Amino acid sequence: MKSVKIRKSPRRNRRVFGRLLLLIIAAIFLVFAGRFAYIAVTGHIAGVNLTKRSQKKYKADAVIHAQRGTIYDSLGNVLAQDINAYSVYAVLSHDYVGPNKKPLYVTDKKKTAKVLSHYLPLSAAKIYQQLTPANRAAYQVEFGGAGQNLSLSIKRKIEKEHLTGIYFNESPTRLYPNGTFASHVIGIAQAPKGKESNNQGLVGVMGIEKYFNKQLAGQDGYRNFARDSYGYAINQKQSKVKTAKNGQDVYLTLDSRLQSYLESLLTDVNKKYQPKSMNAVLMNAKTGEILAASQRPTFNASTKKGIDSIWRDTLVEDGYEPGSVLKIATLAAAIDSGHYNPNQYYQSGSIEVGDKKISDWQTSGWGMIPLSQAFARSSNVGMVKLEQTMGPKVWQEYIRKFGFLKPTGIKLPGETAGTLQYDRPLDQATTSFGQGINVNVMQMLQMTSAIANNGTMIKPQILSGINQDHQLKPIKAGKPIKTSTAKSVLQNMEDVVYQDYGTGQVYQIPGYRVAAKTGTAQITDPNGGYLTGTSNYIFSVAGIAPADNPQYILYVTLKQPQNMTDSAENILAQIFNPMMKRALEYTKKAEKDPQQQVKVTSVISESTTSAQKKLTSLGLQTALVGSGNLVVQQLPKAGSIILPNQRVILMTNGAMTMPDVTGWSKNDLLKLAQLTGIEIEIKGSGYAYHQSLAANGLLDGVKNIKVQLK
């Protein structure tokens, strides 16, 4: 049987295939149409809100940083101020283009290197090398430290060169024009670290910068704007802007003249005797104003050199046994409570308390002596006698009355309250001469203020005010003792300095009457007991002057000098005597010339003629920076409180020109550097007499000016 072949029609097959393909296409179309309809109606895809995604792509928020407030001293001098620093970088990737494929990357590397070498401390060859990295795929390059912390004037000059592919990052930074200057008190502000710190301003991490961070920081604003696919801003009229609220200015009680002198004295003693630490504070006895305060080790707030040596503000954060200076409180408590008989004799040298022997610093003693000599001789045995006569309960009450065991409340972070070891009779006895009790520097100043103010204790203050509100008033911390008691203790403090048996004769200052108390405190050994050796002590002195009308209290501590080539008293006197004398001389000068301080008025946007006339009428000097006829900036700022005859520097709207700085002080030169952004290298001390750039010379392009003082 023959097989039958069935022939398929090619035309029919094509028709079937076409219908099948059409159905597939229709099905795909319906799927996409449904998908598009879903997206159009809901605005979502895969859980993503497309409307918000689109807005995010074509809208952007720009943070408007608030300017951090300025910190001033009591005379209106700038101690800390915001400036913007810039870092330069170069984009190398050819993928970075603008509209119409316009190159936004570096197109001429040799020219770029040559131009940048005029503004950065790098050679053209070095810059060219960095612009041609081994990794050709590098998107962008930076220039290390040489390309960072550029001033606004340098940034503008580079921008005027119109170099393709060169861009800048802006970051706020803090200017501390005085360098090593109450560094732990003023503190520092810096950008926070970590990924979350992007677009954040500076944050105070120490001292006043930390304590008043909220007030100084202000509140950032923002600008919400539309942008095109290339990232360029469009429709500026539709931008939403929230204005930044700048930080408030903080005024301190510090006096730059006295502070600078104290820093110099501490530096000299620190180099010569190499103590492990030092503290020194000068306080106005009547108001509690801290006029000068510093410590060693310290650091340069401008360069940050030395900052790793110690972060603590030892004036408030460190507790220590004060030693014999606390005998001021012991004597005052005994007199005030009626347990002091100056004519009572006792055997000096040593005394048994429980099973322990307490000795005088002169272990053989001075024989039988009256209690009236115990304080001036700094006799431990005499103080123990007073404590035993008072009894532990009465003595402890006075410890608390004098403000120990609780912070003074000074506006500095981390103030310690102190501790008291008071369980056994031995503990109670040793507190009478400053052992077994931990205090801070400010507590000691507060205690001493009761002696200087007829029994009324004054709180130490570092804050003069916020913004224009800086009318400081004394804050009473109580009246622990009677007026008669304070006068009696003050006389005993004079005996320390002027009696032939006093331990502080070295603190006499010709022309002035000084009252003081010396101290030598043992240092606790981590292994138990106390350290031994001639230098293993905290040596100290607290002084009041003039004794007949107290104006100042100066307290200095010196811990473990490693090069003790002089006696402790002679070392401390190298700080105490010149510092107290300088303060007293300022007081005498002010009494002879009782001019009031001047509040600087604003002259910005006024003509130079009008501005100079207005400031001169206030008793101030003026100096112009620039050749224009309109004032655009001024230092000190409006509202600053300064002394008569100080200089106000005015920047005009013309080209920046160098003023004649003959006779200018260091502080005036620092103001000039701050205003112009130009580094001024100052050599010598005194007043300016030579400048490397002549008066009226153009400052444009100048990076450094040298000024000699004498």
Within 8 A by CB and 6+ apart from 192, the residues are: 200, 203
The token duo for 374 is 């115990």
Residue whose token pair is 């130079």 = 608
User: Hunting for tokens 């002091």 — which residue is that?
Assistant: 340
- Give the containing element (helix H, strand E) for 592: helix 568-592
Structure tokens at 439: 């205090």
Q: Is 276 helix (H, G, I), strand (E, B) or coil?
A: strand
The structure tokens 């030579």 sit at 690
User: 233: which 2 tokens?
Assistant: 């801003």
If one counts every other C-beta atom within 10 angstroms of the C-beta of residue 73, the result is 27
Rounded distance, CA 431 to CA 330, Å?
A: 9
Task: Please check whether residue 80 is in contact with residue 175, taking contact to mean a CB–CB distance below 8 angstroms.
Answer: yes
Residues found in the chain: 710
Q: How far is CA 372 from the centre of its chain?
A: 45
Q: Which of 646, 690, 652 is nearest to 667 (CA)?
A: 646
Rounded-to-integer distance, Cα 606 and Cα 447, Å: 51
Burial tier of 117 (Cβ tally within 10 Å: 0-12, 13-18, 19+): middle
Q: How far apart are CA 329 and CA 647, in angstroms?
A: 45
Burial (Cβ within 10 Å: 0-12, 13-18, ≥19) of residue 582? middle
Tokens at 170, concatenated: 């802006």
Tell me 238's DSSP state: G
Encoded tokens for 530: 């106390």
**Given 183, 277, 294, 324, the catalytic residue:** 324
Residue 89, burial from CB neighbour count under 10 angstroms (0-12, 13-18, 19+): middle
Please tell me the distance from the alpha carbon of residue 545 to that of residue 553, in angstroms, as a whole number: 7
Q: Cα–Cα distance between 68 and 54 in angstroms, integer?
A: 35
Residue that is written with structure tokens 């800048």 in the block: 168
Residue 82 has a CB neighbour count (10 Å cut-off) of 21
Query: Two tokens at 676?
Result: 């112009």
Q: Give the span between the Cα atoms of 233 and 210, in whole angstroms.
A: 37
The 8-class DSSP code of residue 138 comes to -
CB 216 within 8 A of CB 204: yes
Give the Cα separation of 314 and 325 in Å (integer).
18
Which helix (H) or strand (E) segment is 667 a member of? Answer: helix 666-676
Q: Cα 172 vs. chain centroid, distance in angstroms?
A: 16
**Residue 376 C-beta-side C-alpha neighbours within 13 Å:** 23
User: Beta partners for 688?
Assistant: 709
Phi-psi sector, 612: left (phi>0), alpha (psi -120 to 50), beta:
alpha
Q: Determine what percent of the chain falls in helix, strand and coil, rounding each to the nearest 5.
A: 35, 25, 40
324 labelled catalytic: yes
Give the tokens for residue 249: 């200015």
Alpha carbon distance 204, 189 (integer Å): 4
Just list the catalytic residues.
324
